[in-house]
Structure 1
Amino acid sequence: MSATPRTAGTTPPRSAAVDVFELGAEHEQVVFCNDPATGLRAIVAIHSTALGPALGGTRFHPYASTDDAIADVLDLSRGMSYKAALAGLDLGGGKAVIIGDPATTKSEALLRAYGRFVQSLAGRYYTACDVGTYSEDMDHVARECSFVTGRTLAHGGAGDSSVLTAYGVFQGMRAAAEHAWGSTSLEGRTVGVAGVGKVGRHLVRHLVSDGARVVVTDVHAPAVERVLAEHAAGTGPAPVRAVGSTAELLGEPLDVYAPCALGRALTDDVVDVLSARVVCGAANNQLAHPGVDKALLDRGIVYAPDYCVNAGGLVQVADELEGFSFDRAEQRAARIYDTTRAVLETAAAEGVSPAVAADRLAERRMRDVGRLRGIWLGR
């Protein structure tokens, strides 16, 4: 845990070679997994178990270098600690990355080898789905491992966590809208969604149901076509239209901007041209560097911190540990509205950005509850 505020999910500038001990100084454990027989090359990072065992997804991605993979897993695992703490869960933060192209590298043998590595951590880390992995993959991992969530419904799991991730983002957006305009309704507002994959697609559905006008973009054309087909208008203008790029989307007159693809979406240049009054999206690690949150604040843009609003998926897979109930998980995800509201009110009261306020609230819970938990466990 850091005593100095640093927005969760932001990585300091680094040299060409990553110093794992320096960059991961806050982390409890980093494990490198290598299985030549299956081609598995994975890294598991456990940031904190102050509140409970670490839980976080497995990202399967063709990183350009091992250094990039290390930096990403350290960054993401730290964010998971803050996400779980702010969501009120008795869980710590961890993350895993598998290096490779899932389209060509992924196999049952590789996933089962990965499961054996996770099993060797003896419950300090629970894994789940992330970019490049799916519930079906977790079923394979679970054949070798007891510490897996996000399995398919057929195997007693929670299924696709993107459903409640999107629901939680929508609840956070309602709280941000209330802070900006005095009303939780998005009716009549124009919302730009960058990325309409697993989460963005469900978010669009919530927005349309609430009466918003939605503009979408995605680098994957079939994803855009699917969303447009789902919301094709019978008569009158369609509630959803598409533009060709994120740059075009940022040029639109938006009320809300929702980054829902990969991280680092909020750069200085983006903040300079953004017309939206609210930024609230599903992507992790949206701030390109520390200081972007202050730039948003200076421009009067209400920023709903990413790890605050996108915690619905974590809530969903965490519920699986108790025997999954979608209704119970949905009720818990609905509390993201209250959490976001508390973050924005704290930021206003303390004169800091919402990102700093969210960090402070999460750190306070990790410190206070973690200390008491440690006493009871004899630490």
Structure 2
Amino acid sequence: MGGYFAGMEHELVITRRGPRCGLPVTVAIHSTARGRAAGGCRLKHYPHWRDSVTDTLRLSEAMTAKCAIAGLPLGGGKTVVAMPEQGYAGDRRDVLLDVGDTIALLDGRYATGPDVGTGPDDMAVIAERTPYVFCRPESAGGSGDSSPHTATGVLSALRAVCAHRFGSPALAGRSFAILGLGRVGAHVLRMLAGEGARLIAADVDDSRREVAARHGAAWTTPQQCLSAEVDVLVPAALGGLLTARSVPALRCAAVAGPANNQLDTPATARLLHERGILWAPDIVVGAGGLIHATAVELLHESPAQVAARLDGIGDTLTREFLAPRRTGGDAAHTGS
């Protein structure tokens, strides 16, 4: 299709003003070629509501790749609600019910789960308007909080990174800088502490200092964490962290974390490569929560099948790392 829609890859994009909340609600389906589209629901402030549409397009496209690399028979989609800068004074339920009604318009082509600004309890509210929801609380018949499963996948990825970069998958004695101690980052911190790793941590929320102290991690500022001299930097907050400005300041041997869209542009991967820094693609590293929730709630797989998918994240990364060597292609995407 040419003209105005030239270059448009998405199958369907809806932006509507929520009739209850009055806020712009956007749902984008990038692809259903592999199966129903899946992707989280994000509630976030943007400078302009059109920026939220752009973000929905970008995030839904990334979800297509994330599902495909994880081997899931699902496509990519995303929901974004542009929240007011000064905060939303209305009823949060109204926002979520409007999201549910928007998804219901799609007749099962897309299912949503938690993302930035939402959690399992929010999914239970959305489920009042549409059955196409995952990561509801266990008490509501869902798979519950996805963050522990995301963290399990991150640990599998970190073992693969250490094996490739340092010759051993052992995490004990290795140093990690964890940037972001939200739901996933805090779990990763705890699990790495249990493995005997040496830890540095930071978060824009200073109250998370207590979480770091509980697990023996040295507390620092986000900027110092980013440039810490460690074996592996673990981005676990929002994306856009790796840029032409930040990469020269890195003093790590590898970057591997669950934060989405870590590269500001694809060209930044080349900068990592030139510095000899191994980068594990976030669409692989952070897939554990998506894998667990969709395998349980959408694909109805057994616990053994789900566990095998989570363990397979490390194997997927290893194949990614070795592929350029086998094919003689460009290894810029991994920095190795």
TM-score range, shorter chain: over 0.9
Counterpart-to-counterpart distance in 2, 1:227 and 1:138: 29
1:46 and 1:203, CA in 2 relative to 1: closer, same or farther beyond 3 A? same
Higher mean displacement: 273-282 or 27-36? 27-36
Counterpart-to-counterpart distance in 2, 1:310 and 1:258: 11
1:290 and 1:323, CA in 2 relative to 1: closer, same or farther beyond 3 A? closer
Instruction: Report the counterpart of residue 353 of structure 1 in structure 2.
Output: 331
Q: Does 1:82 align with 2:65?
A: yes
Counterpart of 2:70, as a letter, is A
Q: Does 1:316 align with 2:284?
A: no
Q: 115, 120, 126: which is aligned to 1:130?
A: 115
Counterpart-to-counterpart distance in 2, 1:355 and 1:106: 43
In the TM superposition, what is the alpha-carbon distance from 1:355 to its structure 2 partner? 3.0
Question: Structure 2 unaligned runs (5+)?
Answer: none
Q: Does 1:60 align with 2:36?
A: no
In the TM superposition, what is the alpha-carbon distance from 1:227 to its structure 2 partner? 3.4
Instruction: Report the counterpart of residue 141 of structure 1 in structure 2.
Output: 126
Cα offsets for 1:164-223 (capped at 9, x unmatched): 111111111111111111100121111001101011001111211221111000001122
Instruction: Report the counterpart of residue 218 of structure 1 in structure 2.
Output: 203
Counterpart of 1:129, as a letter, is P
Instruction: Report the counterpart of residue 15 of structure 2 in structure 1.
Output: 32
> Percent identical across equivalent pairs?
38
Counterpart-to-counterpart distance in 2, 1:325 and 1:41: 38
In the TM superposition, what is the alpha-carbon distance from 1:347 to its structure 2 partner? 2.7
Question: Structure 1 unaligned runs (5+)?
Answer: 1-18, 232-237, 358-379
3-state SS in 1 of match to 2:111 = strand
Instruction: Report the counterpart of residue 192 of structure 2 in structure 1.
Output: 207
Instruction: Report the counterpart of residue 165 of structure 2 in structure 1.
Output: 180
Give the TM-score normalised by structure 1. 0.82
Give the TM-score normalised by structure 2. 0.92
Counterpart-to-counterpart distance in 1, 2:90 and 2:22: 7
Instruction: Report the counterpart of residue 288 of structure 1 in structure 2.
Output: 264
Q: 220, 230, 247: which is aligned to 1:254?
A: 230
Aligned residues: 329
1:199 and 1:354, CA in 2 relative to 1: closer, same or farther beyond 3 A? farther
Counterpart-to-counterpart distance in 2, 1:105 and 1:67: 22
Q: RCO greater where, 1 or 2, for CA within 8 Å and sep 6 or more? A: 1
1:173 and 1:46, CA in 2 relative to 1: closer, same or farther beyond 3 A? same
Instruction: Report the counterpart of residue 305 of structure 1 in structure 2.
Output: 281
Counterpart of 1:210, as a letter, is E
Preserved CA contact (<8 Å) 1:251 1:274: yes
1:120 and 1:246, CA in 2 relative to 1: closer, same or farther beyond 3 A? same
In the TM superposition, what is the alpha-carbon distance from 1:328 to its structure 2 partner? 4.3
In the TM superposition, what is the alpha-carbon distance from 1:324 to its structure 2 partner? 7.1
Counterpart-to-counterpart distance in 2, 1:254 and 1:323: 40
Counterpart-to-counterpart distance in 1, 2:33 and 2:183: 31
Aligned CA RMSD, in angstroms, stands at 2.0
